[in-house]
């Protein structure tokens, strides 16, 4: 059965198949500096799909068959710990590529991905993607750079996890989320936010309240809006 909300989204312009050539999100990501002929190839090879909120792209342990390119929406990439609690490793936004790591490692997925809101996500099959990488040095270097960048981000992430208090980590996380959500308010469940920060949901809720009382944050149920970035930066502890 189709909910009113997802129905609306299907009728929404965001659901229309977007040509790669006119895809506004392309400018942000890997396929930015792509040329005419290659753009046509990409166009021909990708399949555009609609994912409604909380729909799974792939799960831990499954076989990678291709990469996902977000045209519109947000996707969480996460791993489950021993007790089943999710740790969100990354939140992908429009223009971002998901699941390319597994293309190269030859292993099964070690993480899972799920849409956080109604999203348009294109799919490029493994062989097609690997072909592009193999024969397009620009694309290839872009991928290598992307992998390197993420590696660096994760070193930061690990250091923060290990050394910062939950309060500092929340402030830091909100700053990251500001970049991801841009002009839009941060739209995450308390549980997802807790799983991104790496804390218990109850602790997160208490801290959000503190931040609100400190005048850093405006809270409307599921929408968070940072109103004092400077203060948040100082709360993040450098």
Partner DNA sequence: CCTAAAAAATGACGAAAATCATATTTATTT
Partner DNA sequence: AAATAAATATGATTTTCGTCATTTTTTAGG
**Which of residues 57, 76, 199, 211 is near DNA by CB under 7 A?**
199
What's the CA gap between 176 and 169, in Å, rounded? 10
Binding of residue 128 to DNA (CB under 7 A): no
Q: What does DSSP assign to residue 153?
A: H
Q: How far is the CB of 21 from a second copy (least distance, A)?
A: 28
Q: How far is the CB of 96 from a second copy (least distance, A)?
A: 15
Region from 60-68, 173-181, 214-222, 229-237 binding DNA, contact rule CB under 7 A: 214-222
Binding partner at 60 among a second copy, DNA, none, C-beta below 5 to 8 Å by kind = none
- The closest of 206, 191, 154, 144 to 176, measured between CA atoms, is 154
Binding partner at 79 among a second copy, DNA, none, C-beta below 5 to 8 Å by kind = a second copy
N-terminal to C-terminal alpha carbon distance within the chain: 49
Q: Which residues contact 220 (CB under 8 A, 6 or more apart)?
A: 185
**Which of residues 8, 16, 222, 225 is near DNA by CB under 7 A?**
222
Binding of residue 212 to a second copy (CB under 8 A): no
Q: SS3 for 111?
A: coil
Give the x-and-dash track for 162-191 against DNA (CB under 7 A). ---xxx---------------------xxx
Binding of residue 158 to DNA (CB under 7 A): no
What's the CA gap between 189 and 82, in Å, rounded? 22
What's the CA gap between 225 and 212, in Å, rounded? 10
Between helices 166-181 and 190-197, what is the axis angle to 10°?
A: 110
Q: And the tokens for 237?
A: 């502890």
**Which of residues 75, 143, 170, 193 is near a second copy by CB under 8 A?**
143
Q: Which residues contact 181 (CB under 8 A, 6 or more apart)?
A: 74, 93, 187
- Residues near a second copy (CB under 8 A): 79-83, 85, 87, 89, 101-107, 110-111, 134, 137, 140-141, 143-145, 147-152, 154-164, 198-199, 237-238
Binding residues vs DNA (CB under 7 A): 1, 3, 5, 165-167, 189-191, 198-203, 205-206, 208-209, 219, 221-222
């Amino acid at each position: 059965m189709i909910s009113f909300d997802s129905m609306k989204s299907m009728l929404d312009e965001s659901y229309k198949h977007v040509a790669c050539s006119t895809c506004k999100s392309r400018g942000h990501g890997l396929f930015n500096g792509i040329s005419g002929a290659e753009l046509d190839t990409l166009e021909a090879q990708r399949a555009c799909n609609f994912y409604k909120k909380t729909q799974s792209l792939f799960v831990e342990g499954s076989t990678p068959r291709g990469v996902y390119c977000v045209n519109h929406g947000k996707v969480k990439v996460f791993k489950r710990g021993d007790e089943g609690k999710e740790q969100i490793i990354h939140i992908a936004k429009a223009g971002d590529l998901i699941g390319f790591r597994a293309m190269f490692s030859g292993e099964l997925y070690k993480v899972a991905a799920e849409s956080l809101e109604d999203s348009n996500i294109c799919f490029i099959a493994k062989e097609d993607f690997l072909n592009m990488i193999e024969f397009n040095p620009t694309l290839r270097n872009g991928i290598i750079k992307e992998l390197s960048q993420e590696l660096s981000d994760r070193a930061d992430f690990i250091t923060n996890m290990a050394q910062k208090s939950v309060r500092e980590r929340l402030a830091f996380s909100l700053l990251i989320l500001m970049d991801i959500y841009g002009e839009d308010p941060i739209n995450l469940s308390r549980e997802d936010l807790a799983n991104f920060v790496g804390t218990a949901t109850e602790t997160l809720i208490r801290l959000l309240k503190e931040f609100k009382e400190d005048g850093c944050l405006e809270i409307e149920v599921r929408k968070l809006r940072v109103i004092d970035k400077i203060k948040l930066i100082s709360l993040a502890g450098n």
